[in-house]
A and B are shown apart, each in its own frame.
Chain A
Amino acid sequence: MDALIPQLLNGSAQGALLLLAALGLSLTFGQMGVINMAHGEFLMLGAFTAYLVQQVIAAGDLSIPVALPVAFAGAGLFGLLLEVTIIRWMYRRPLDTLLVTVGVSLILQQAALQIFPSQGVPVEKPGWLDGQLNVLGYGWPLRQVFTIALAAVCVTALSAWLKYTSFGRRIRATVHNRDLAETTGISTRSIDRLTFFVGSGLAGIAGVAASLIGGTNSQMGAQYIIPAFLVVAAGGIGQLKGTIIAAWAVGVALSCFAYWTTGSLAQVLAFILVIVFLQVRPQGLFTVRTRSLA
């Protein structure tokens, strides 16, 4: 039993990071149907932003809170640029977006390798994240608590934005039926751009969280992109609550398997679980009923 609590807490934190990485995808992939393989590199941009911010205002207590909005805006603008220059030409060709964005991700990786030291850059944890929170005798690293809090804030903000603002309503209308949305006067072009901006920006925030956990280097995006896609697929396309539950479940499964078996086997087992689940329920946990024909 006392082995279970650390794994649950640790798994929730891993799930929170997965969720942060998957949130943006659930917008761009889930809502718009764009398979953006460069999403992991937008995450990398966020992590490098955290490093750059720490160069400017020193690795003090403020650096991470400042880095979060900067990373959001930075990665968001990159996403916007990608949408305006490339993605907009291939909305009806999802397989082509996959190929093109793989290319973009390679370009971004190599660019990062050229610009930053090849070994990667250090992102330091602010002082207020030092230490552990005592949960029933287990010292829960504060950094994990922070990841969960950050994910919670992002999810709340995103769902409130989708639900209560006029932008959110227009996005949902576009997802449900693009043609009908257009006839009601919604500019689906600007909605697409906005969705892509927010989705990519969320990857930037995930990058800041990831920079506190692992290395910040040109290759870091690759380790998040596939799990993030799996989480979105398992959660059900276009459904925020599905993504949340799936991310948490995968995180806890990864953590428990890692404890019972080994780190390598845990990856395999967790992904087998997701694949089996998708075999049984290909539409994912939750589904959106749309009136569009696609």
Chain B
Amino acid sequence: MFTTTTTTTRRRTLVTTGALGMTLALVLAGCGARAGDDPAAAGSSPAASCVDTSGGTVKLGFLNSLTGGMAISEKTVSNVLHMAADEINNGGGILGKKIQYVQEDGATDWPTFAEKTEKLLTQDCVAAIFGGWTSSSRKAVKPVVEKLNGLFFYPVQYEGLESSPNIYYTGATTNQQIIPAMDFLAAKGVKTLFLAGSDYVFPRTANAIIKLYAAKLGIKIVGEEYVPLDKDDWTSQVAKIVAAKPDFIFNTINGSSNVGFVKAYYDAGLTPAKTPIISVSIAEEEAPAMGHEVTGNYASWNYFQSLKTPTNPKFIQSWKAYPNSSGVTSDPMEAAYISLYLYKSLVEAAGSFDVDAVNAAAKSHTITFDAPEGKVTLNGKNHHISKPGHIGQINASNQFDIVWASGKFIEPDPYLEGYGWFPADIRKQLVDAAG
């Protein structure tokens, strides 16, 4: 028995190695061919794009994780994109052309995001791609859209320190979410702060920025804790919070780990009255899924369902009427909604779907959109948009009462160049670390 098994295993190993070798050879051959093509492609540049808008439609790609761990968040974004596409089509489309979308599944796997981006651009010949959630997915898509000169619209708040000619960012960068949250804490007279985050690039970068700004504001950081994204039990770390007795907890935890954090927080006897939490990833959709009342805690976002703007009621109504709707609207959903309309405005300003023409229009025109969060303006240089900062306090119906607003719209500053307390060497260090 044993001998047979060993032989089979060995044979299998051989077959596997062989297959691997073949694949490698194929990939290398593919790379070689592509590398050979490149100079020619560079010569004729954007004309090499296979986007066909000669008919009555324009093809767009939606790239969201519909399976795997991130489907928890990205399914909603995908649904909102479909809704926005339907809306635009009912209104006559973009430059008179109806949107025909190709939905792809990123499957919570970053190499898949890169492969699907390439597929959407080279096989489906889409004019632009919308989606992504995690920074890892964006960083997987970035080199591909840059190499193939495609367009990618990214709808989620993130850690900043990035700007690509081929990416448009419609979520907040740090100076539109983290810094307003700190301004709010300073205005409240907070003296001590505890940082709790998931262990990945966004919380680590956000906390590096928070610590620098806190030093300037005179807020003392009394603790900093990280737990892996896929781990829910926060009891040990919450015990440290209890011991540190901070005035406030700054929460950069993401996903289901938030549920564990909130449960451990209440289990340990902490309350929003004494030790409130300010979060940057708990929104209208997450608040009711905590399994515990979270009333009284805070969140920093640009958009809240409770915002009173001219276009918000229509957005909420369309979403509530949409099939498979969760019934509530939230910041990332709104940013996804913005992304498609922003693209429409860009194309209309450019008068063309061509990537270079769109990018030129971003620089030469003032592109605005009357978003549910207010009238946002595209910054043609860094491809981010201006946003209002808002702090909401969770009420008994899991909606947010706006308790603080930045007033004017905050210009996007992904590299925090307008903030004197942010030293250049740390900027370089963080940019290098983020890859």
Contact = CB atoms under 8 A, between A and B. Distances in A.
Q: Does A pair with B?
A: yes
Interface of A: 6-7, 10, 13-14, 17, 110, 113, 117-125, 131-132, 139, 141-144, 210-220, 222-223, 254-255, 258-259, 262-264, 266-267
A72 B303 CA distance: 43
10 A-B pairs closest in CB distance: A214-B232, A215-B256, A263-B227, A215-B259, A141-B267, A214-B260, A258-B236, A122-B291, A264-B199, A118-B75
Given A117-B289, A119-B72, 11 more contacts: A10-B235, A122-B288, A123-B291, A139-B269, A212-B291, A214-B263, A216-B259, A254-B236, A258-B236, A263-B237, A267-B231
Nearest to A212: B263
15 contacts: A7-B236, A10-B239, A13-B235, A17-B233, A110-B67, A117-B289, A141-B267, A213-B233, A214-B232, A214-B256, A214-B260, A218-B71, A223-B231, A259-B236, A263-B227
A284 B111 CA distance: 38
Contacts of B73: 118-119
Interface residues of B, number: 42
B285 interface: yes
Contacts of B76: 118-119
B235 A14 contact: yes
Contacts of A139: 242, 268-269
Contacts of A110: 67
Contacts of A254: 236
Nearest to B326: A117
A115 B286 CA distance: 17
Contacts of A117: 289, 326
Contact of B256 (A220, A258, A264): A220
B258 A215 contact: yes
A259 B225 CA distance: 10
Nearest to B267: A141
B226 interface: yes
Interface string B129-147: 0000000000000000000
A11 B415 CA distance: 42
Interface centre among A124, A131, A255, A264 (most CB of B within 10 A): A264
A120 B72 contact: yes
A263 B235 contact: no
B69 interface: yes
B292 interface: yes
B227 A215 contact: no
B63 to A, nearest CB: 17
Interface in B220-250: 225-228, 230-237, 239-240, 242
A121 B289 contact: yes
B386 to A, nearest CB: 29
A263 B236 contact: yes
Nearest to A223: B230
A113 B67 contact: yes
A77 B428 CA distance: 57
B402 interface: no
Contact of A222 (B75, B230, B288): B230
Interface centre among A17, A117, A118 (most CB of B within 10 A): A118
B259 A124 contact: no
Nearest to A10: B235
B217 interface: no
A123 B232 CA distance: 14
B290 interface: yes
Contacts of B267: 125, 132, 141-144
B117 interface: no
Interface in B270-320: 285-286, 288-292
Interface in B193-224: 199
B231 A124 contact: no
Contact of A214 (B71, B239, B257, B288): B257
Interface in B53-102: 67, 69, 71-73, 75-76
B259 A120 contact: yes
Interface centre among A13, A124, A215, A222 (most CB of B within 10 A): A215
A13 B239 CA distance: 14
Nearest to A266: B236
A273 B232 CA distance: 21
A216 B292 CA distance: 13
Nearest to A262: B226
Nearest to B232: A214
A135 to B, nearest CB: 12
A222 B259 CA distance: 16
B286 A119 contact: yes
A218 B226 contact: no
B292 A125 contact: yes
Contacts of B233: 14, 17, 213-214
B210 to A, nearest CB: 17
Contact of A215 (B67, B226, B239, B289): B289
A124 B232 CA distance: 16
Interface string B359-381: 00000000000000000000000
Contacts of B232: 210, 213-215, 220, 223
A172 B255 CA distance: 43
A185 B290 CA distance: 52
A110 B286 CA distance: 20
Given A10-B236, A219-B256, A258-B236, A132 B268 contact: yes
Contact of B226 (A121, A131, A143, A264): A264
Contacts of A7: 236, 239
Contacts of B256: 120, 214-215, 217, 219-220
A211 B233 CA distance: 11
Contacts of A143: 263, 267
Contact of A6 (B72, B239, B290): B239
Contacts of B227: 262-264
A121 B260 CA distance: 13
A263 B72 contact: no
B289 A218 contact: no
Given A119-B286, A143-B267, A215-B258, A255 B236 contact: yes
Contacts of B290: 122
Contacts of B286: 119
A214 B256 CA distance: 7
A266 B257 CA distance: 16
Interface centre among A123, A141, A210, A220 (most CB of B within 10 A): A141
Nearest to B283: A119
A218 B230 CA distance: 12
B72 A217 contact: yes
A225 B412 CA distance: 43
A218 B72 contact: yes
